[in-house]
Each structure stands twice: as C-alpha cells, then as structure tokens.
Structure 1
Amino acid sequence: MECSDWDIDFTEEELQSIDAIFESYKPPVAADCDGDHRPKTRRRLPDSLFTFSRIAASSSSSLLPCPRNRFTSSYRDTSKMRYPAMTFKGHIVYSRTFSEVEKAADELLKFFETMNGDGNRPVIGFDIEWRPIFKKGATQSKAAVLQICADVARCHVMHIIHSGFPQNLKSLLGDSRFLKVGVGIAGDARKIFKDHNVSVDALEDLSRLANKKLGGEPKMWGLSSLTEKLTCKQVLKPSKIRLGNWERNPLSAEQLNYAATDAFVSWHLFEVLNRLPDSDTHTNEVAETVAPSSVS
C-alpha cells in the first residue's frame, strides 16, 4: 500500500518543508465555469504530488512518510529538502581500559542472555571506527573504537585500541545466537579479525536486507541513504569528526555521540526493515487479492 492512500496528518516541521518546495513550484491557477479562480490552499496537498516509501500498514513504527519531488523537470533536486537529524538520545557507556571493557561486556552478555531466554534473538547494532591515514600507500590504522547498541536506552563505545579484547568480549562477538547488524558489516568483521584476531559471527548486512524488503533494482545502500529512505531523517557525518583521530584518549563528546549514533541507527534500521514483508511476498499477496476466481 502506498502511503499516499492514507489520511496523513503532517507535522508542522513537515509542512514547513513542503511549503519551501511549493515556493519553487507555481502551478497555473485553474478557473471554474464562471471564471472565478479556485481558492488557494496551504496544507491540503494533492495526493498525486507525493509518493512514499512502502511501509507495512500494521507497523507501529514511528516512521515519517517521505515526500518525494514529482513536480517538474526543472525541479528534481530532493537533496535540498533537509530532514531532521537522527541521533542517539540514550546513555552512552564509554569504556577505555581492559577492566572497563570487561565489565561492559559482562553486562551486555547478561542482558543478551536474558533476551535470548525470552525467545527473542538479541540484535546488536555494530560499527567500528579507526584513525584515517592521508598519506598515499601508507598502511591503514587498526580499528580503534567498537560500538555496540541493542536498544534505545544504552549504547556502548569501547576504545579497543587502548583496552584490547577481554575474553568475554570475544565470546560475545563470536556468539552466533546474537545477530550483529550494520551496513557493510562483513568488511568491519574482516577488519576486526585482521587487526585484533577476533572473530565477529552471525552478521546481517542492512543493504542486502533492504533490497530484499524494498524490492526493485538492487542498490548499494549506505547508512545515510537508507536512514533517509526509511525514516525521513538524516545521519550527520561531519568530516571533522568522521575523519578525526579515533585513537585520541579520551574521545571527545562529539566523537562519542557520533559513534553511538551509528550503532544505534544500525540497530533501529534493522528493527524497521524486519517488520516489513519481503518484497516478493508482498507482490504475491497483492496478486492473489486481485486475481479473478478460477471457480466456474
């Protein structure tokens, strides 16, 4: 079902974004049979102007419908429409030493064991950061920071370049009962193994999952593009933080927020995608609904 089929109440923030677009589009004013112009409306927009990401109608998600520009060939740059930032607003647990990381991993293991005992497979938003090297041909820096997030309340940022890997953290990452999710997560897992000889198992790439759920031509989704597609929010990636020194001790508040948000967004996007039906299942259901009966 297209969101345009729904009766949607736009928020004031969405209306402001829509108004900004309308300022760039001035359609001819239609006249009625008596020559009187139709009154202008500000907030009731024709459904045909928008298409939205397909979302399961029964979903309890807080996703916003994403308006896409379908006005004229002279105005197609949807990048001008700015979305609110997606940020992690829970508690960030920052661990820098071996004992701190060991304690954090122990708390996470107990939390995941409880979830697993309730019949719910734990899902972990997973990401890593490392210090960039700008000299051509230089060896890439080792993974410096590891982020783990499994709910909206708490995210762990572990400074593994300084703390190393306690055995319980190795066990957590290698436990196939706990699903680790992220965009390009297989590459992150390979880097962790190459840099620290630690295996990360049970991986789910969000780009692959998105293609399975959304259908259409397969795409190489990035974290930012997938966030905008599914939530109408944007993941801020300021270069001064993204390309900063992730080996500095301690990390800055900005670095901690950036790192925690990346892991949180990965976890959140999986939860959103997991509630959607597979694209082929959805297509089959629609076909069965509209197919004529074969009974004579």
Structure 2
Amino acid sequence: MKIASADGDTPTIVANARSIGAESVPGWDQPFTDQELDDIEAAVTTAISKKRRPFSGTGNDDDEDERPGGPRRRLPGSFSLQHSMRIKLPVMIFRGRITYNRSATGVERAAAQLLSKIDAMKGVMDQVIIGFDIEYRPTFQRGVPPRKTAVMQICGDNDHCHVMHVIRSGIPPSLKLILEDTAVLKVGAGIAGDARKVLKDYNVSVNGFQDLSELANQKLALPRNRWGLASLSEVLLNKQLEKSMKIRCGNWEAFFLSEEQLLYAATDAFVSWHLYQVLKSLPDARRNNIENNEEKLTVALP
C-alpha cells in the first residue's frame, strides 16, 4: 500500500457511562478512547466466538435466569460456523495507491484531476463506474442523530483510491460535480442511505447510484438478503473483508486520519467497485432459472 497526501451492518458494546444518558454524563459526545474501542472489539469478538452450551433436552433454562442481568441472548447456531469459515478465508485488501487530502485546496485539486480522468473515460466507455463510501463517527446514543459525514472515499480502478477528509475540507466544486453527475455511476452497499446523509449534511445530491445489495438480489439465485460488502466478498470473491471495530468505530473526525483508517476506507471503496464488476458480469437469477428449466425440459423430451 502506498499513501500519498497532497496537503501534508449495530455492534454490541460493554455498558459504560456513555450509554446512561446524554444529559447527565459529561463527555458523552467525545471520541471513544483506545481502551473503550478495545472493549467494544473484545465484546463483539467474544459474542461471535463463544460456543453455545449443549442443549439439555429438558426445555428448562432456569439456570440462565439466575445469571446477572437475566437470560443470556444466544446467537443462531449457524452464526458461529459462518464466522469460523470467514476466518479461514484470505483477506481482501486494497494494494494500490491511496491519495489522502484534507484541506479544501487539496480536495479540490484531487477532485479536479479525478474529474478530468472521468471525462476521458466517458469517451471510451459506455458508463463510468466508481466505488463510493462514506465514514462518520458513531454516537451509540439513543435519540442522538449520527455525526456529520467525515470522510468520502472514491475508487475507479485497481490502482488508485482517493480518501477525502470532507469534515475538514467541505465539498469543493469539482467534488460536487462528480457527486451530482448522473453519468458517473456510484456503487456501494447501502449507498442510498449514504446519499441521503450527504444531502442532509452538505446539501449536495449524490446522483446516479446503484446499491450492490439490490444488484446482488437481482443476480444471485439465493434468498433475498440485505447484503453488505463483507458478505458479498465471501460469496462472490471467497475472501474476507476485515471490519475491525476499533477502526470502524474510531474517530473519523481526527485532525489527521491514521494509516489504518486510510487503508480501511480505501479498501471499502475498492471492494465496492470490484464487486460491481463481478455482479454485472453475471446473468440475472431469473433468466438463469428459466435457462435451467428449459434445459431440463429438453432432456425430458423423447
């Protein structure tokens, strides 16, 4: 991974003071500390790796009621198996160049260069595709709205991803043009929600987008699902997309993003772009079923 800077699916968390009440707890809206993030990740890891107790056959779980806090909530039996399978998969990671910009001047310059590249691609391609995603600092506080969009990441090929720290730079004109251009298809998981958030936070429309979850439901002969990048990576690429809670729930409003945050953000945008290429190459599931039925009918005829 090379990083260049031109200008210098709700986790279970350990109860703490932040979850007691916004009005009564000083500092509830401050970034999580490293210790708190470690506790969050440890809690999630424990929850998904703990083995289920053997079923007693009596249907009586009175002993669970005596546990502090009441009965333990159990994960579906298949979840632990899925998690074990996921651990064995190779990790999906972006290995190209990451350009990180955080000032208005830097983001405008990077977006102008990207806009020029997009214009050139329009001359030789039917449609320009970019992987798109956003990051923001979570609050984990009931009744408290999400924090403002802090980071936008854009990737249009295997080699180069842009990570733009828009909480610091705002959305300059060239970036606004890219987001509003209906001829540039933005792809991502749950991207409609991201578009609504960007509109609310910056009054900028994200036009021309495709939700990978909907596309997957159209293409895959599987039960309809609310697909995320991680699950699609497993099904389509046979690779694991790491989702570290320490990074995912970290402070995306920091003065400078860490190398780990930059790699996390760029990988999400790259995987969005890559998964779209894979999905578009597949026939629709309905057409696939029709072809299978026709083949069976032909074989059955004398």
- Letter of the 1:90 counterpart: G
Aligned partner of 1:196 in structure 2 is 202
Aligned partner of 1:206 in structure 2 is 212
Trace 1:1-296 onto structure 2 (pairs within 5 A). Answer: 77-81=81-85, 82=87, 83-292=89-298
Deviation per CA, 1:172-219, whole angstroms, max 9, x where unpaired?
101010100011000000000000101001110001000100023211
* Consecutive unaligned residues in structure 2, runs of 5 or more: 1-76
Distance in 2, matches of 1:201 and 1:77, equals: 39
Distance in 2, matches of 1:136 and 1:282, equals: 44
- Letter of the 1:79 counterpart: H
Q: Output the TM-score relative to the length of structure 2.
A: 0.70
Considering only aligned residues, what root-mean-square deviation do their CA atoms show, in Å? 2.2
C-alpha deviation, 1:114, in angstroms: 1.4
C-alpha deviation, 1:295, in angstroms: 11
- Letter of the 1:95 counterpart: N
- Letter of the 1:211 counterpart: N
Deviation per CA, 1:196-249, whole angstroms, max 9, x where unpaired?
101001110001000100023211111111111111111111111100000102
Distance in 2, matches of 1:206 and 1:140, equals: 23
Deviation per CA, 1:20-47, whole angstroms, max 9, x where unpaired?
xxxxxxxxxxxxxxxxxxxxxxxxxxxx
Secondary structure of the residue aligned to 2:130 is strand
Distance in 1, matches of 2:133 and 2:105, equals: 21
Distance in 2, matches of 1:121 and 1:89, equals: 25
Identity %: 51
- Shifted more, 110-119 versus 286-295: the winner is 286-295
Q: Which runs of 4+ in 1 moved over 4 A?
A: 293-296
Deviation per CA, 1:62-97, whole angstroms, max 9, x where unpaired?
xxxxxxxxxxx99x8242122111100000010111
Secondary structure of the residue aligned to 2:298 is coil
Aligned partner of 1:59 in structure 2 is none
Deviation per CA, 1:111-160, whole angstroms, max 9, x where unpaired?
11111110331111000001111344333210000000010100000000
Distance in 2, matches of 1:295 and 1:154, equals: 54
Q: Output the TM-score relative to the length of structure 1.
A: 0.71
Deviation per CA, 1:46-65, whole angstroms, max 9, x where unpaired?
xxxxxxxxxxxxxxxxxxxx
Distance in 1, matches of 2:202 and 2:148, equals: 8
* Consecutive unaligned residues in structure 1, runs of 5 or more: 1-72
Distance in 2, matches of 1:273 and 1:101, equals: 31
Secondary structure of the residue aligned to 1:92 is strand
Secondary structure of the residue aligned to 1:180 is strand
Aligned residues: 224
Distance in 1, matches of 2:158 and 2:300, equals: 49
